[in-house]
RNA sequence: GCCGGCGUGGCGGAAUUGGCAGACGCGCGCGACUCAAAAUCGCGUUCCCGCGAGGGAGUGUGGGUUCGAUCCCCUCCGCCGGCACCA
């Protein structure tokens, strides 16, 4: 293949069209208020998850989603929509900073170099982005508004009465810092010495940093937090109306992890202390035979008896030293120690022992549980190991086994006033009882934690905050953006003190005030970029009201395509910010992304994930040089369903390349001098009826397949259509008109080129292929007078018959019985039943004569 | 362990309100063109038996529902992803 001459001259025209598109602003989306803006057209906002511009550049896997959205964007334009299809850069992040640490090169430099490379790569694939809206999260004119949104969070609180974010002015309590959506807390964080930074829980995998794989340890530190937990219910409810993959919704639901139950207070015998527990099974309260506190629980120190103290403290130290990884590995084997203290069960006055154990987590619920070993597997395992009593309080269906916990629903037994009630009834009755006696109340918890929002890095958004006399104070909006100082030394300080703390002049804000030296996490910039795209150059607001209202409408981004790796975090954080901004009256829709599609991963030709170390990376440049951008685009889509994981194949690229060559030769031929000229077979004769049928069937299928994003079958249909006209003379120009229009969103360069060449010599090819109105099909042409039906005997195919479309059963059966093959299959058997599916089949159920 | 997704020719995949399994492409085989090759064009290509006509099997496994199952239900196996002591 390498030595062959090209089958069509893609290298001569692809770059030409790409340059024209950029220079002429061919795909510029107009905002309301701009000259030529057409308000009668519907809007369609189609967005890719914008990339982090890494030094490695894009490979063909990244291009898959972008190709899909580009096809939809191009098709929607032809279908008369105002299409917003932008691209930008999520360019803050660790790699640029680490590169700076190694080389001393400023992250801004490497970032700009990488952005230039990414942009040129994307342009070489011919994507129809509106480049006038290009943004980078690292640009001060962008991140001033990221900081502005942070200030809005800082100045707001979540009002539980209205279930909305409101300005702090509506808060009448005495401690605003306790309710702010952005607040400071001393929290145990994941400190990663290797990276010199604190990480979010989500960035820690198996006790190691997700980036770099360095060990991570827990230590308490003062951090900025965002109160996302206040929005747990809203984030959960909002999912219902979204057109997202159910799997992604489920991931988010599980991540939020809402569970309903009750909190119950147990008093500690002989001490002025109460332990509050959370349980989802208040109906089993009579079965609580001991309690467990997390080792880190603040009450442990207070209640532990003198005699037990050494053992308890030893256990606490051991638990603290254990990494999350080690804890996970030790799941099977329960451990714990007795504190020497006892608590009183508020429903029956029973005295039960209080233990500590690391199977109870400080971070969930109240960090303490009542243990009901008969009905909880973990409590059961623990009770067995330490010889604690097990008391059945829920009777299941079968015989009550003592060898394992029964966790299902049943009838309450040994439970006083609950006896005989079903689990659901008992739960309600118990909560009523607890609330009446003041011993507890109904309660909801979530797994979702508040969002740790500060990082000890240089290459991120600085906080618009200063510290004065130990207190934080927000900067005025007029002081934005807060730009990082120029620095030469990016080396981490080796302590949790961020690198910005080394820029002493910058840190010193005034005589008495010092700047916050943490920066925001990478998620910050990506939380709202889709809003900025609506009005990327607006200088008076984070997005102009009218532009936001038009493009975001009431359902937000119409189509959002990206990888599953963002199924939880990015999509949850964005939804959270969006809801806050919505509550504060800044954005129109209640959700940012109406429809979400996850593209599958593209594997290397060896069926492994593409990686530099494996050496199986295929770059777009490589494919474009050899087969052209259109072949690249087409193969990306022809491989299989967008959502699916699939391996790359260069032979497959050749297949679509040959198809494009056939399309080229439909219009062109090579003359004796080796020059391409218009094919003399082309003619203005109308297509024959069979040809028209193929053309209209193709219009129908390609239209619906693009709508369904089933690009592989759309391409397949275009191949069928093309094959229909290969070697046909005379070759109707109408066929090319339809074919090039339908193919244009997928392979825009070849279509544009052929369209202009045809237009130079023939009528009926005005303007550009990419600006033609989308063709419509004539249903009458697709209806046939005669259909073929299959005839089965006992469900087995025996023959095919022809019949008038919608012929009645009698006529069809007559024809079926006329078939010798069918007669033979029936033989002397008796026909018991006849099934006739109009236009499809006849099935005769026959009992053979025995 | 729990939750979710997926198992179809030599390969990527197509077909589901339950009705012709394998569209389209790759690969492979044969032929045309050519001095020859490449490219191109045509024909064939699920597997097994058969020279053939034809017959049989077949959508991960085993069962079920149905006139009829790749499609619906249950069992098991394999692969991928997520969560992982969440009370």
A322, part of any domain: yes
Chain A 582..621 CB hits on strand B (< 7 A): none
CA of A649 to C1' of B28 (A): 17
- Residues A555-591: pLDDT tens digits? 999 999 999 999 999 999 999 999 999 999 999 999 9
CA of A201 to C1' of B60 (A): 38
For residues A342 and A288, state if they share a domain: yes
For residues A385 and A485, state if they share a domain: no
User: What's the CATH number where A766 sits?
Assistant: 1.10.730.10
For residues A430 and A487, state if they share a domain: no
- Residues A149-158: pLDDT tens digits? 999 999 999 9
What is the C-alpha R_g of chain A? 34
| Strand B–CB A56 distance below 7 A | no
Task: Give the pLDDT of residue A497.
Answer: 84
> Can you tell me the distance from the alpha carbon of A142 to that of A177, in angstroms, rounded to the nearest whole number?
28
Look at residue A208 and tell me whether its pLDDT is greater than 80: no
Residue with tokens 């629903």: A409
Tally of structural domains, chain A = 4
Look at residue A329 and tell me whether its pLDDT is greater than 80: no
Give first-to-last CA distance, chain A, whole Å.
65
> Can you tell me the distance from the alpha carbon of A221 to that of A228, in angstroms, rounded to the nearest whole number?
19
| Strand B–CB A281 distance below 7 A | yes
A1, part of any domain: no
Structure tokens at A700: 């129908």
Task: Give the pLDDT of residue A65.
Answer: 96
For residues A676 and A739, state if they share a domain: yes
- Residues A524-554: pLDDT tens digits? 999 999 999 999 999 999 999 999 999 999 8
Sequence-separated (6 or more) residues with CB below 8 Å from residue A54: A95, A114
Interface confidence (ipTM) of the complex = 0.95
Task: Give the pLDDT of residue A332.
Answer: 65
CA of A797 to C1' of B48 (A): 20
- Peptide bond connecting A192 to the previous residue in cis, omega within 30 degrees of 0: no
A192, part of any domain: yes
Q: Which nucleotide is nearest to A381 (CA to C1')?
A: B85
> Can you tell me the distance from the alpha carbon of A642 to that of A662, in angstroms, rounded to the nearest whole number?
25
Look at residue A315 and tell me whether its pLDDT is greater than 50: yes
Closest CA to A165 of A240, A238, A231: A231
| Strand B–CB A2 distance below 7 A | no
Contact A454, A446 (CB under 8 A): no
> Can you tell me the distance from the alpha carbon of A470 to that of A616, in angstroms, rounded to the nearest whole number?
54
For residues A269 and A383, state if they share a domain: yes
CA of A787 to C1' of B61 (A): 39
Domain boundary among A518, A537, A565: A518
Higher-confidence residue of A846 and A707: namely: A707
**CB-neighbour burial class of residue A224 (10 A; exposed 0-12, middle 13-18, buried 19+):** buried
Structure tokens at A569: 């975090």
For residues A163 and A272, state if they share a domain: no
Name the closest residue (CA) to the C1' of nucleotide B24: A716
For residues A771 and A789, state if they share a domain: no
Task: Give the pLDDT of residue A774.
Answer: 97
| Strand B–CB A334 distance below 7 A | yes
Q: Domain residues for A482? A: 148-227+450-458+462-518
Closest CA to A365 of A307, A274, A444, A462: A444
For residues A655 and A738, state if they share a domain: yes
Q: For A782-809, what is the mean pLDDT?
A: 85
Task: Give the pLDDT of residue A838.
Answer: 86
Q: For A796-812, what is the mean pLDDT?
A: 85
For residues A344 and A372, state if they share a domain: yes
Phi and psi, residue A218, nearest 5°: -95, 130
Closest CA to A455 of A504, A488, A498, A394: A498
- Residues A134-145: pLDDT tens digits? 999 999 999 999
> Can you tell me the distance from the alpha carbon of A527 to that of A570, in angstroms, rounded to the nearest whole number?
7
Residue with tokens 């109408």: A734
A372, part of any domain: yes
> Can you tell me the distance from the alpha carbon of A42 to that of A38, in angstroms, rounded to the nearest whole number?
9
Neighbours of A278 (CB within 10 A): 21
Neighbours of A556 (CB within 10 A): 25
- Residues A30-71: pLDDT tens digits? 999 999 999 999 999 999 999 999 999 999 999 999 999 999
Provide the mean pLDDT of chain A.
92
For residues A438 and A307, state if they share a domain: yes
Residue A584 backbone zone (phi > 0: left; psi -120 to 50: alpha; other: beta): alpha
Neighbours of A293 (CB within 10 A): 26
CA of A593 to C1' of B87 (A): 35
> Can you tell me the distance from the alpha carbon of A707 to that of A701, in angstroms, rounded to the nearest whole number?
10
> Can you tell me the distance from the alpha carbon of A261 to that of A808, in angstroms, rounded to the nearest whole number?
62
Sequence-separated (6 or more) residues with CB below 8 Å from residue A702: A714, A717, A718, A742
- Residues A731-742: pLDDT tens digits? 999 999 999 999
For residues A220 and A311, state if they share a domain: no
- Residues A635-686: pLDDT tens digits? 999 999 999 999 999 999 999 999 999 999 999 998 888 889 999 999 999 9
Task: Give the pLDDT of residue A606.
Answer: 87
Look at residue A324 and tell me whether its pLDDT is greater than 80: no
Task: Give the pLDDT of residue A2.
Answer: 40
**CB-neighbour burial class of residue A808 (10 A; exposed 0-12, middle 13-18, buried 19+):** exposed
Residue with tokens 């702010």: A180
Distances (CA, A) of A707 to A66, A73, A470, A533, A751: 16, 11, 57, 24, 20
Closest CA to A48 of A59, A60, A61, A62: A62
A285, part of any domain: yes
- Residues A400-439: pLDDT tens digits? 556 788 888 889 999 999 999 999 999 999 999 999 999 9
| Strand B–CB A327 distance below 7 A | yes
| Strand B–CB A427 distance below 7 A | no
> Helices (DSSP H) in A612-710: which residue ranges?
620-627, 629-638, 650-667, 689-707
For residues A433 and A475, state if they share a domain: no
| Strand B–CB A258 distance below 7 A | no
A466, part of any domain: yes
Percent of chain A clearing pLDDT 90 (strictly above)? 75
Sequence-separated (6 or more) residues with CB below 8 Å from residue A254: A447
CA of A563 to C1' of B21 (A): 32
A65, part of any domain: no
User: What's the CATH number where A824 sits?
Assistant: 3.10.20.590
A115, part of any domain: no
Name the closest residue (CA) to the C1' of nucleotide B85: A359
User: What's the CATH number where A350 sits?
Assistant: 3.90.740.10
Q: Which nucleotide is nearest to A281 (CA to C1')?
A: B87
Chain A 73..132 CB hits on strand B (< 7 A): none
Domain boundary among A396, A411, A445: A445
Task: Give the pLDDT of residue A133.
Answer: 97
Neighbours of A672 (CB within 10 A): 5
Contact A484, A106 (CB under 8 A): no
- Residues A595-624: pLDDT tens digits? 999 999 999 988 888 888 888 999 999 999
CA of A616 to C1' of B6 (A): 24
Sequence-separated (6 or more) residues with CB below 8 Å from residue A614: A604, A606, A608
Sequence-separated (6 or more) residues with CB below 8 Å from residue A279: A261, A262, A263, A264, A285, A369, A370, A372
| Strand B–CB A249 distance below 7 A | no
pLDDT band for position A325 (50/70/90)? low
| Strand B–CB A330 distance below 7 A | yes
Pairing of strands A274-279, A259-268: antiparallel
């Amino acid at each position: 293949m390498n030595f062959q001459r090209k089958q069509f001259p893609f290298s001569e025209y692809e770059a030409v069209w790409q340059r024209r598109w950029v220079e002429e602003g061919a795909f510029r989306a107009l905002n309301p208020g701009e000259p030529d803006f057409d308000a009668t057209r519907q809007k369609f906002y189609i967005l890719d998850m914008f990339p982090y511009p890494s030094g490695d550049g894009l490979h063909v896997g990244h291009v898959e989603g972008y190709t899909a959205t580009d096809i939809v964007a191009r098709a929607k334009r032809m279908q008369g929509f105002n299409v917003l299809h932008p691209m930008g850069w999520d360019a803050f992040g660790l790699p640029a900073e680490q590169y700076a640490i190694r080389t001393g090169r400023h992250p801004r430099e490497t970032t700009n170099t990488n952005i230039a490379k990414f942009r040129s790569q994307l342009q070489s694939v011919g994507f129809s982005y509106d480049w006038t809206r290009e943004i980078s999260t690292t640009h001060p004119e962008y991140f001033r508004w990221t900081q502005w949104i942070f200030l809005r969070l800082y100045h707001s609180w979540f009002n539980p009465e209205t279930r909305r974010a409101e300005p702090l002015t509506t808060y009448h309590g005495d401690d605003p810092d306790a309710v702010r959506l952005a607040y400071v807390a001393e929290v145990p964080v994941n400190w990663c010495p290797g990276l010199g930074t604190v990480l979010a829980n989500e960035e820690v995998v198996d006790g190691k940093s997700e980036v770099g794989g360095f060990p991570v340890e827990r230590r308490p530190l003062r951090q900025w937090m965002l109160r996302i937990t206040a929005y747990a219910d809203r984030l959960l409810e909002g999912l219902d109306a979204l057109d997202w993959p159910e799997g992604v919704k489920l991931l988010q639901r599980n991540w939020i992890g809402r569970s309903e139950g009750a909190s119950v207070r147990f008093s500690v015998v002989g001490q002025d202390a109460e332990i509050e527990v959370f349980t989802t099974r208040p109906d089993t309260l009579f079965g609580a035979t001991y309690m467990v506190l997390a080792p880190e629980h603040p009450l442990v120190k207070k209640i532990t008896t003198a005699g037990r103290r050494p053992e308890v403290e030893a256990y606490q130290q051991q638990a603290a030293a254990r990494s999350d990884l080690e804890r996970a590995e030790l799941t099977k084997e329960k451990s714990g120690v007795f504190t020497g203290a006892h608590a009183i069960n508020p429903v029956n006055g029973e005295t039960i022992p209080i233990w500590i154990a690391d199977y109870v987590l400080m971070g969930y619920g109240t960090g303490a549980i009542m243990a009901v070993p008969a009905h909880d597997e973990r409590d059961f395992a623990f009770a067995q190991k330490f010889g604690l009593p097990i008391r059945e309080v829920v009777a299941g269906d079968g015989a009550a086994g003592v060898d394992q916990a029964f966790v299902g629903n049943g009838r309450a037994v040994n439970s006083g006033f609950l006896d005989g009630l079903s689990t659901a009834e008992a739960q309600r009755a118990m909560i009523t009882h607890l609330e009446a006696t003041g011993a507890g109340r109904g309660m909801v918890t979530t797994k979702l934690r508040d969002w740790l929002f500060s990082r000890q890095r240089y290459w991120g958004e600085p906080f618009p905050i200063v510290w004065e006399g130990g207190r934080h104070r927000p900067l005025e909006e007029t002081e934005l953006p807060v730009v990082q100082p120029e620095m030469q030394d990016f080396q981490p300080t080796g302590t949790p003190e961020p690198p910005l703390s080394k820029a002493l002049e910058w840190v010193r804000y005034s005589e008495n005030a010092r700047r916050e030296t943490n920066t925001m996490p990478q998620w910050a910039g990506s939380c709202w970029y889709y809003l900025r795209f609506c009005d990327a150059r607006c200088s008076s607001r984070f997005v102009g009201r009218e532009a936001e209202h038009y493009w975001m409408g009431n359902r937000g981004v119409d189509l959002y395509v990206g990888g599953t790796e963002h199924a939880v975090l990015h999509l949850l954080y964005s939804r959270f910010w969006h809801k806050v901004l919505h509550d504060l009256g800044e954005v129109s829709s209640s959700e940012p992304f109406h429809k979400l599609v996850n593209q599958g991963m593209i594997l290397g030709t060896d069926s492994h994930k593409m990686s530099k170390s494996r050496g199986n990376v295929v770059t777009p440049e490589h494919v474009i040089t050899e087969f052209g951008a259109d072949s690249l685009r087409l193969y990306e889509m022809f491989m299989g369903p967008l959502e699916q994981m699939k391996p790359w194949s260069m032979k497959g690229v050749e297949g679509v390349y040959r198809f494009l060559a056939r399309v080229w030769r439909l219009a062109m031929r090579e003359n004796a001098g080796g020059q391409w000229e218009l094919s003399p077979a082309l003619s203005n004769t109308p297509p024959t009826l069979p040809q028209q049928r193929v053309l209209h069937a193709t219009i129908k299928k390609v239209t619906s397949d693009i709508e369904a994003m089933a690009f592989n079958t759309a391409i397949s249909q275009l191949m069928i259509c093309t094959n229909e006209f290969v070697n046909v003379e005379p070759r109707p120009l109408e066929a090319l008109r339809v074919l090039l229009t339908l193919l244009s969103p997928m392979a825009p360069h070849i279509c544009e080129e052929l369209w202009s060449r045809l237009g130079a010599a023939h009528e009926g090819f005005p303007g550009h292929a990419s600006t033609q109105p989308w063709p419509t099909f004539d249903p009458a042409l697709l209806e046939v007078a005669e259909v073929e039906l299959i005839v089965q005997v006992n469900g087995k195919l025996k023959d095919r018959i022809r019949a008038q479309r919608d012929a009645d059963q009698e006529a069809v059966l007559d024809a079926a019985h006329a078939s010798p093959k069918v007669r033979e299959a029936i033989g002397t058997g008796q026909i018991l039943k006849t099934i006739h599916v109009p236009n499809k089949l006849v099935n005769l159920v026959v009992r053979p004569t025995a």
